[in-house]
Structure formats: structure tokens, C-alpha cells
Structure 1
């Protein structure tokens, strides 16, 4: 029996117009009617997940910022994480001059130290504002530390920065190409999969009672921790599809396949 359906947002549940398709909404409602809870798991901020849950009209558990924060559908916080002061300052100094749009992510704020032409592209896809802040180092000095660094722009530049950070901060950070134009940098060990484990432990749900759906490398940790009903979107990179137990055309397709078994 499926007790928890977990869906990524961008490229999975959300269309290019940032909406939920009717067939996906109906499939999720069917899962709820059959006794499952829903969870949204995304690199987006919690307030953005709440926006999608409101559109669905269904209370949802939330794993936000790639697993940095976990909350139940009742609003109970289960987990949170952030970079250490040392790593925060080192990553910021090393990447502040890259030719990519930098977004420094906190639980309730998205900040950028410098405006960049690609910033407009990013702002159009989000449900929350990005603030331009030129004194980020002062915030770090005052004890405010981010949960994630994100870099947007040319994919080759993102991949090159990923390789550089992997070498320089080996064993200290996890780097993920989370979209066609985005590199996410997380504290080592923080992931959607680990965040989802905290939720399932709290709910008393076993791994083989979880259906998870995603399309990007930041979803792979979910597939590895909850492999039985792991669904990758058909458009996902091959490396993502290899990690899932099945490839599906949509959220609705994945739900209907699993429930038909």
C-alpha cells in the first residue's frame, strides 16, 4: 500500500507555465482518496511549496531547499540545516566573481550579492522574490548562514564550477546540476532523500510504502533511499533515469502505473 506520494516540482509536477496539469492534480487526489499523504520535495523555498499546495487544494508535507528544511502538513518542523560559518565565507569568496547569477538561499529569503543579466530569467520562474543585497558578508558576520548556494546561467559554466568546487571542497559540500541551467551547492549529506527519511520516520512509513517522482540529479537521493516505487520523468537525463525503478511520462502516469499493480 502506498502511504506517501512524493513529487518534485520543476520539470515534474509543474508545467512550463508553473502550473499543475489537470491530469496530475486528479491523480494526486485519487492517491489521497486511497489513503496516501502527499509531500512536495523541491529545491525551492518553503513558501513556494506552500503556494503549490494551495493550488492543489491538498495539505502537503514539505521537503524544501533540497532537504534543508522538513515540515509536516500540520506545520511541524522536523529538520533544518545550514552551512557552517567557515564554509559559508569560503564558498562565497571563491564564487562571487563567476559569470553566473548567484542566489544565496536562507529558510525565508533568497538573496543575491550582484545583479546579473540572467537574474531576470530566474525571477520569472520563482514564486518568491530575490533581494539584491550588497552587504552579504556583514550578514554572515552577524550569524546568518545560508542552507544553499545556487548558480544559474550557461550549463557548461555551471558544470565547470561544479568540478572546481568538488575539487576544492571535497568531502565538505555536495554539488548537483538540478536544472538545465542551475548548479546547487549543499552542505555534505544534505539531500531530498535524507530529508524525506526524517519525514517517513516521523510518520512511521516504510520505504516500500513511498512513491517518489522526479526528473533531476537532486532527486536521485530520493530514488536511492526509496527505490521500490521510484519514478523518473521520461525527459530526465539518462543518469537520473538509471537511478529510478521506472520511467514515466508524468506524475499521473507514475501514480496510475503503481496503483495498477
Structure 2
């Protein structure tokens, strides 16, 4: 029986132009009628999830930055993981050689090496502005540690770089293609699955009682933890192949989940 429904944002619930389909919002509001809890699991920052929750008028649980932070719908922080000082410096030195701009995220901000025209377009999809300047290699400390590094480029370029960089950082980091033009580097062990497992433990439910929906490679870990997994029809075939169902919308996934609950 499904007790929690978790959705990805970009390419799933959230479309280009920061648009959310009214039908998807209406469907999410039916979850409560079936005693199903709601969560958002995304690569975005927690404060962006809070904006989304306000827009859709649902007070959902929040798994942000691919699982680096997990908060309840009462804003109780139940899990967080950032890079330590030495690892932060190591990865910073690695990405400095990347030919394209890169970003460094903390809990609340995204710093970028250089704001290009392409990144100005990306900034238009965010709910908060980027901050230019990453000259803090020697400033990492207990009060300032990154939770994610992001590299931008074409998919083939990012995949090739991903293979190379993992030879040097596999012991301290995970990497995910979170978007066709974005490679995420997060602390070892961090994933949306981990964040949702921490939430499940807090809610005293089993991970197999969670339904999940997404469209990117960073959604695969949560697909693998439950039989109730949905991939968007717009997702790459390799992503679709790891999900139990392929759907056209969040609305369709919610309807399939609630129909099953109603039938029990």
C-alpha cells in the first residue's frame, strides 16, 4: 500500500518557464483523500521547494539537492550531508579545469564561476539568482561547506567528463546527470533514495510504500527502492527502462496510485 507520493521537479512536475500544470496540482490535492503523504525530491535547493509548495498550496516534505538535505513538512531537518573541508578543496581543484562554467551549491546559495548567456537562461528557470564568484578555495570551513558541484555542457561532453573525474573522486563523491546539460557532484552516498529512506524512517513507513516519479538519471536510485516507480514519457529510454510504469504526467501517476489504494 502506498503511503507517500514523491515527485521530482524539473521535467516532471515543473515544466519550462517554471510552469506547473493545473491538472497535476489538482491531482496532488487528491492524495490526502487517500491518506497518502506528499514529498518533493529534487536537485534544487530547499528554499526553492518551499516556493513550489506555496504555489501548489501543499505543505509537502522536502528532499533537496539530490538528497543532501531532508526536511519534514514541519521544516524539521532530519538529514543533511555536505562535503568535508579536504574533499571540498579536492573537487574544487578538479572542476576548475573544466572548460565550461561550473556552480558550487551550499544549503541556500548557488555560486557560479562565470555567468554566461546560457547561464542567464538557466537563472531564469530558478527562483533565486545565481551569485558570481567561486574564489573561496581557501575559505572552506565548518561554517562554509558545499553540498553540490554542478558542471554544464552537452550530454556527451558531460558523460565523458563524468567517467574521467570519477576515477579521482569515486571514494568521496557520487555523480549524476540530472539534466541533459548538467552534471551534479554530491557527497558519497547521497541520492534521492537516501533522502526518501531517511524520511520513511522518520514517518515509520517502509521505502516500498513510497511511490516515486521522475525523468532523469538522478531519479534512478529512487526508482530502484520501490515497485511503485513512474518515469515520464519524455525521459530518456535508459531512465524509462528502470521504472515500473511510464506515464505522461504527474496526474496520471497519482491516478494510478490512488486507484490501487481505493481497490484495497
Q: TM-score, normalised by structure 1?
A: 0.95
Does the CA-based 8 Å contact 2:100-2:151 persist in structure 1?
Answer: yes
Counterpart secondary structure, 2:17: coil
Match of 1:52 in 2: 52
1:41 corresponds to: 41
Q: Matches of 2:208 and 2:115 in 1, distance apart? A: 45
**Paired residues of 2:247 and 2:253 also in contact (CA < 8 A):** yes
CA distance in 2, matches of 1:150, 1:33: 39
Offset, 1:250? 0.7
Q: How many residues align?
A: 260
Counterpart CA distance in 1 for 2:208 and 2:137 is 44
Kindly report which structure 2 residues correspond to 1:15-30, keeping only aligned pairs within 5 A, or say none: 15-30=15-30
Once residues 113 and 101 of structure 1 are traced to their aligned partners in structure 2, the CA distance between those partners, rounded to angstroms, is: 6
Match of 1:110 in 2: 110
SS at 2:55 equivalent: helix
CA–CA distance in structure 1, aligned partners of residues 52 and 131 of structure 2:
22
Alpha-carbon distance between aligned partners in 2 of 1:45 and 1:138, rounded to the nearest angstrom: 24
Question: Given that residues 88 and 145 in structure 1 are in contact (C-alpha distance below 8 angstroms), is that contact kept between their aligned partners in structure 2?
Answer: yes
* DSSP 3-state at the match of 2:222: helix
Q: CA shift at 1:37, angstroms?
A: 1.3
5 Å-filtered alignment, 1:141-180, equals 144-180=144-180
The structural deviation recorded for 1:214 is 0.5
Q: Could you say which residue in structure 1 is the equivalent of 2:76?
A: 76
TM superposition shift of 1:153: 2.4
| Residue in structure 2 matched with residue 242 of structure 1 by the alignment | 241
- Which structure carries more relative contact order (alpha carbon 8 Å, separation 6+)? 2
Q: Which runs of 4+ in 1 moved over 4 A?
A: none
Following superposition, the deviation at residue 128 of structure 1 comes to 1.5
2:111–2:134 Cα contact (<8 Å) kept? no
For 1:137, what is the secondary structure of its paired residue?
Answer: coil
RMSD of aligned residue pairs (Cα, Å)? 1.5
SS class of match (1:118): helix
Larger CA deviation: 128-137 vs 195-204: 128-137
Distance 2:85 2:56 in 1: 38
Please give the alpha-carbon distance, in whole angstroms, between the structure 2 residues aligned to 1:99 and 1:125: 23
1:190 matched residue in structure 2? 190
Alpha-carbon separation, structure 2, partners of 1:159 and 1:198: 29
Report the 3-state secondary structure (helix = DSSP H, G, I; strand = E; otherwise coil) of the residue aligned with 2:18. Answer: coil
State the 1:82 CA deviation: 0.6
Q: What do residues 125-152 of structure 1 show as CA deviations (whole Å, max 9, x unaligned)?
A: 1111111124221331575210110112
Offset, 1:243: 1.4
Unmatched runs of 5 consecutive residues or more in structure 2: none
What's 1:259 paired with? Answer: 258
- Aligned partners of 1:231, 1:205: CA distance in 2, in Å? 20
Write the distance in 2 (CA, Å) between the matches of 1:207 and 1:218: 17
TM-score (norm. length: structure 2): 0.94
CA contact (8 A) 1:66 1:218 kept: yes
Helix, strand or coil: the match of 2:213?
Answer: strand
Q: Which secondary structure does the structure 1 equivalent of 2:224 belong to?
A: helix
2:230–2:246 contact (8 Å) kept in structure 1: yes
